[in-house]
Amino acid sequence: MLEKLKGIEKRFQEIQDQLADPAVYADAALLKKLSREQKELEPVVAAYRAYVRTESDLEAAKELLGDPEMKEMAQEEIQTAKAELERLQEELKVLLLPRDPNDDKNVIMEIRGGVGGEEAMLFAADLFRMYSMYTESKGWKLEVVNANETELGGIKEISFVVEGEGAWSRLKFESGTHRVQRVPVTESSGRIQTSAATVAVLPEAEEVEFTIDPKDLQIDTFRSSGAGGQHVNKTESAIRITHLPTGVVVECQDERSQYKNKDRAMKILRSKLYEAEQAKQNAAIAAQRKSQVGSGDRSERIRTYNFPQNRVTDHRLTGDNKNFNIDQIMNGSLDPLIDALVTADQAERLQSGEE
């Protein structure tokens, strides 16, 4: 591990030297590439340098053991240095885990009301509100692409894009079935009902990553409309794109411009096809893992929102670590839950010896 870290530090220094060269700033693509690589390597190099310093402190403390007056202080310093080396070693193991290449990408999310009729659609609207508040708290940008709402304020389905640094790294764990247990506003007898909504999360694919043959597309235009007839567009600006080989259909009607809707719909289609291709490639690897914290399978029940008991339970976590306050979660305070999922994913990958 230490040899690998020395190589990383050497590469980090090379990047710093290159970034000190004014000529690099004339090449925007190279500058972006080097800056991104520097940012990725920085925490690893910082932890490695701390490890080297602590090793040096440990050796210096050992040399003081022969001095009777300094022996007690030296023993304390040795104990502190050994504990710090152990902590840094574990931190470096995590930092050296293979990085998800999609982590810095924007995210396309889709929420659909599932089993439970109108109550499921009201819950889907609650989930959208939750993600909207979380997005706002992170300083990210959220754009609705397509929404199909009900008269009571529920959501049959909604697609939206989240743009922001590290969006995928945080939201990728949200894919799956979200179950809710509560007394619906539509229930007059006060009975608790169990309903569900599904969430899909896709990394936004760039054009260079996945090319689509125009001959494989069927593009239709139609008039966009909102719930209750609001925001009706009198021109056919809404776009529906069908990818004929796979049957994947994408609609976009949020923008007033047909061109903008087509551009956004193409981005979503590209991301869906890119994700499907990635899923094929990762199937063999995934089968070898006992579980997948962020599998992205919408058929998998990942979380239960129990309103009578005021708790959210994530079924991928264990022990006391799996329950969270429902009010905080529904108001967009998702970081404690996501942090726990990130830690669980790292622990699983360390245990499986992932290189």
Listed residues 95, 125, 140: the one ending a domain: 95
Of 63, 95, 127, which marks where a domain is finished?
A: 95
Asked if 16 and 68 sit in the same domain, the reply is yes
Structure tokens at 183: 């007394």
User: Which pLDDT score is estimated for 100?
Assistant: 81
156, burial (CB in 10 Å: exposed 0-12, middle 13-18, buried 19+): middle
Q: Which residues contact 50 (CB under 8 A, 6 or more apart)?
A: 88
Task: Return the SS3 of 145.
Answer: strand
Query: Pairing between strand 238-243 and 217-222?
Result: antiparallel
Clarify whether residues 87 and 118 are in a common domain: no
Total-model pTM: 0.69
- What total number of domains does the chain contain? 2
Residue whose C-alpha is closest to residue 95's, from 139, 59, 128, 51: 51
Q: Are residues 150 and 6 in the same domain?
A: no
Q: Which pLDDT score is estimated for 312?
A: 96
Residue 101 located in a structural domain: no
What is the distance, to the nearest Å, from the Cα of residue 171 to the centroid of all Cα atoms in its chain?
A: 3
Return the pLDDT at 263: 80
Q: How many CB atoms are closer than 10 A to CB 214?
A: 6
CATH of the domain at 33: 1.20.58
Domain that holds residue 63: 2-95
Neighbours of 109 (CB within 10 A): 23
Q: pLDDT in tens for each of the 355 residues of the chain? A: 788 899 999 999 999 999 999 999 998 889 988 998 898 899 899 999 999 999 999 999 998 998 888 889 999 999 999 999 999 988 898 888 888 888 888 999 999 998 888 999 999 999 999 999 999 999 999 988 888 899 888 999 999 999 998 899 999 999 999 999 999 877 767 788 899 999 999 888 765 556 688 888 888 887 766 544 444 444 567 888 888 888 888 888 766 677 778 888 888 888 888 777 777 656 644 443 334 344 444 457 899 999 999 999 999 998 778 999 999 999 999 999 999 999 898 888 887 765 4
155 Cβ contact list (under 8 Å, min separation 6): 111, 113, 121, 124, 125, 128, 147, 148, 149
Burial class (CB in 10 A: 0-12, 13-18, 19+), 69: exposed
- 8 A C-beta contact, residue 88 and residue 174: no
pLDDT score for 121: 94
- Looking at the fold, whether 269 and 201 belong to one and the same domain comes out as yes
Q: What CATH code is carried by the domain that includes residue 113? A: 3.30.70.1660
Query: Considering the domain boundaries, does residue 100 fall inside one?
Result: no
Same domain, 68 and 162: no
